[in-house]
Chains A and B, each alone.
Chain A
Amino acid sequence: MSRWLRSFGAFWYDFVVGDDWRGAAVVAAALALTALLVHAAGVNAWWLLPVAVVAALGWTLRHAIKAS
């Protein structure tokens, strides 16, 4: 049962996060920060996620090339 659960979890991790966790981590962190800025500080931080996505792409590409 635990083996089945492990492989089930691994499948969904692979499906959602994929080969490199960096992109998912940056997007999640940027969304959390955006929500915090909007709701706690009253800042309409529409610019944060696009900047984070561009940075995440650069980071992922850099890591992929280094790894090769």
Chain B
Amino acid sequence: MNSAALFLTVFVACAVEAVEALTIVLAAGLTRDWRSTFQGMAAALAVLAVVVAAVGPALTLFPLGVLRLVVGALLAVFGLMWLTKAILRASGYKGLHDEAGIYERQVAAARAAGTGGRHGVRDWYAFTLSFKGVLLEGLEVVFIAITFGDNQGNLPLAALAAAAAVLVIAGVGVAARAPLARVPENTMKFAVGVMLTSFGTFWGAEGAGVHWPGNDASLLVLIPAIAVVCLGYTTLLRRTRAATPAADIPPQAAAASSADQDRAGTTVPTTGPSTGASAPAAGSLTSEEMPR
């Protein structure tokens, strides 16, 4: 993987996470209280800094083989999760990730939530919403940057790509003061899912002791092969869905799996207007707002 490919992969993956974090921060800040929102964001960034400070040096203690085995497995699992959702969305079994819709639901929930402060924070709801959103999305950014950078032996470039992605999305968000609904998020997730799965498979197998035919050049076959398989699954599911009688087709709003049960057990509509009934509990995030 050359430097440009490393930068691009990490940049796109982190940009997707940043778009999702931005949606949550905007919903909390614009409808509740900016000061508490920024406090939540700052607290989450502090936790992330501790994670980076702890995980970074710890990685050097492990042999490269063990590191590649663990990191490869995690990346492959992450990639599979991204691909599952992207394929379900692309084939119509699941509503497209709708940042505007998610924003509306967050705003409705934020407006409905009670007010009150704690521990020196003026608006506890805005604080926790912002904290959870930034921490969860940020953990993925950190994980992607560290794993790709460490495995490619170019951690500074990966960190630069992650920082650039976050800064670009934050800058666009500040300028627009609205959720970035026009970002082709599903396409980006599809592409990143293919990359995460491919690199996870490559590194994981290497960590298990495999010697790939052609060494690193095998990635030039592995990445397109996984992309073709995913496109094949998408086409197959589209045809299956088209051939299914209308009465048997679940509405797109229906969850494609228990994935659409949020952490509080509330079903999350993926399309359509938001309602009070679907609003998440105070300070909680639905699975649609969660990473991946």
Contact = CB atoms under 8 A, between A and B. Distances in A.
A21 to B, nearest CB: 10
B139 A27 contact: no
Contacts of B43: none
Tell me which of B80, B204, B237 has the highest count of chain A C-beta atoms within 10 A of its own C-beta.
B80
Contacts of B287: 19
B212 A68 contact: no
* Interface residues on chain B, size class: 35 or more
Is chain A's interface secondary structure helix, strand, loop, or mixed overall?
helix
B105 interface: no
A2 B93 CA distance: 39
Interface stretch (B160-168, B180-188, B223-231): B223-231
A53 B226 contact: yes
Tell me which of B84, B226, B237 has the highest count of chain A C-beta atoms within 10 A of its own C-beta.
B84
Contacts of B83: 57
B81 to A, nearest CB: 5
Contacts of B72: 31
Nearest to B88: A64
A62 B229 CA distance: 15
Contact of A53 (B76, B257, B259): B76
Contacts of A17: 77
Contacts of B291: 15
Contacts of A27: 73, 76-77, 80, 200, 204
A49 B292 CA distance: 22
Contacts of B208: 31, 34-35, 38, 49
B213 interface: yes
B74 interface: yes
Given A15-B139, A24-B77, A63-B257, A31 B69 contact: yes
A57 B254 contact: no
A53 B211 contact: no
A50 interface: yes
A18 B62 CA distance: 26
A1 interface: no
B209 A35 contact: yes
Interface in A1-33: 14-20, 23-24, 27-28, 31
Interface string B138-168: 0100000000000000000000000000000
Contacts of B257: 19-20, 63-64, 67-68
A46 B205 CA distance: 7
Contacts of B88: 61, 64-65
A48 B54 CA distance: 34
B38 interface: no
B213 A46 contact: yes
B282 interface: no
Nearest to B222: A50
12 contacts: A14-B263, A15-B136, A20-B257, A31-B204, A31-B205, A38-B208, A39-B209, A46-B210, A50-B205, A53-B226, A65-B93, A67-B255
Interface of A: 14-20, 23-24, 27-28, 31, 34-35, 38-39, 44-46, 48-50, 53-54, 56-58, 60-61, 63-65, 67-68
What 6 pairs between A and B have smallest CB-CB spacing? A38-B209, A19-B259, A23-B80, A64-B257, A35-B208, A34-B208
